Amino acid sequence: MAAQVAEAVKLSSGHHMPTIGLGVYRSAPGSETYDAVLSALRLGYRHIDTAQLYGNEADVGRAVRDSGVPREQVFVTSKLWRDSYGTESGLAAVRASVERSGLGWLDLMLLHSPSADPGRREAAWRALEAAVQQVVCGAVWCGVGGNLVRSIGVSNFGEAHLEKLMRGATVQPAVNQVEVHPFLQRRELVAYCRQRGIVVEAYSPLSKGSKLADPRVTSVAERLGVTPAQVLLRWSLQHGLVPLPKSTHPQRQAANLDVRSFELSAGDMAVLDGCEEGLVTGWDPISQDPV
């Protein structure tokens, strides 16, 4: 019998986030994103991850509204792009994201990266702190109603970035979203976040498909009768991460969600843990952006 993996994790904000989400990075705005999100929600996903940079917040929101799933049951994340880093500009950009989505609020808003200007980073965090305190009624921000943003966090932050941010913060980040998979494990950063109650979300948990044919992955998959992608996602879950696989194909979406019915043994985990090679498949602000 497979070891139990939680359906949701409680954030430091007190809200709960489902432990598998659908990422929509590079899902084209319009029908591609809309259809992918609608399919995922009908399959049982309850966590969608978008960003201002992706240009598809409106399509995510429309799919959520059309899905028939109650809004309160769908956890939606977006990210503040660094062009809007600043206190007033950041808060205005968060409001714009909520309005584009048409969802009434966002469950999680992240700083998309540390940015090259630490001063603007701190100002942007103050904007998120303000956003989590603001409330919305309809399209007007006022003194009653639901929160504009329920939880806040960061993406692509290293330990030093987090240390500096938290020294001046009044609200601590609930989440750090970074690229993590067996070939890029970021063990020290994950441990640092765990010690401070920051949940680590793993984007590109399938290494953008670049390692699905690795013999160490395929041998585990064949023995268990599952797909290589399922092996990588199960590895994330057993390490306490929240993976965000991306797929626009319903069959793959369904397979990616079905990772609670099997368990990786200690031996399997050791094999996958031995795959570390520092493989960054996307950008790496953790090493590129100054503290």
Checking DSSP bridges between strand 47-49 and strand 140-142, what pairing results, if any?
A: unpaired
Token look-up 């799933």 returns 69
Return the structure tokens found at 18. 């489902």
Q: How far does CA 3 lie from the centroid of its chain?
A: 23
DSSP notation for 30-70: THHHHHHHHHHHHHT--EEE--GGGT-HHHHHHHHHHH-S-
Q: Measured between alpha carbons, how far apart are the two ends of the chain, in Å? A: 46
* Residue 112 annotated as part of some ligand binding site: yes
CB 173 within 8 Å of CB 200? no
Catalytic residue among 34, 45, 54, 85: 54
Checking DSSP bridges between strand 16-18 and strand 8-10, what pairing results, if any?
A: antiparallel
45 is catalytic: no
Return the structure tokens found at 136. 């919305």
Checking DSSP bridges between strand 47-49 and strand 75-80, what pairing results, if any?
A: parallel
Q: Secondary structure of the chain: what % helix, strand, coil (to 5)?
A: 45, 20, 40
C-beta atoms surrounding 119 within 10 Å: 10
State the helix-helix crossing angle for 118-133 and 159-167, rounded to 10 degrees.
Answer: 60
- Residue 278's Cβ-count burial label (10 Å; 0-12, 13-18, 19+) is exposed
Would you please indicate which residues are annotated as catalytic (active-site) residues?
A: 54
Binding residue positions:
112
Tell me the binding residues for substrate.
112
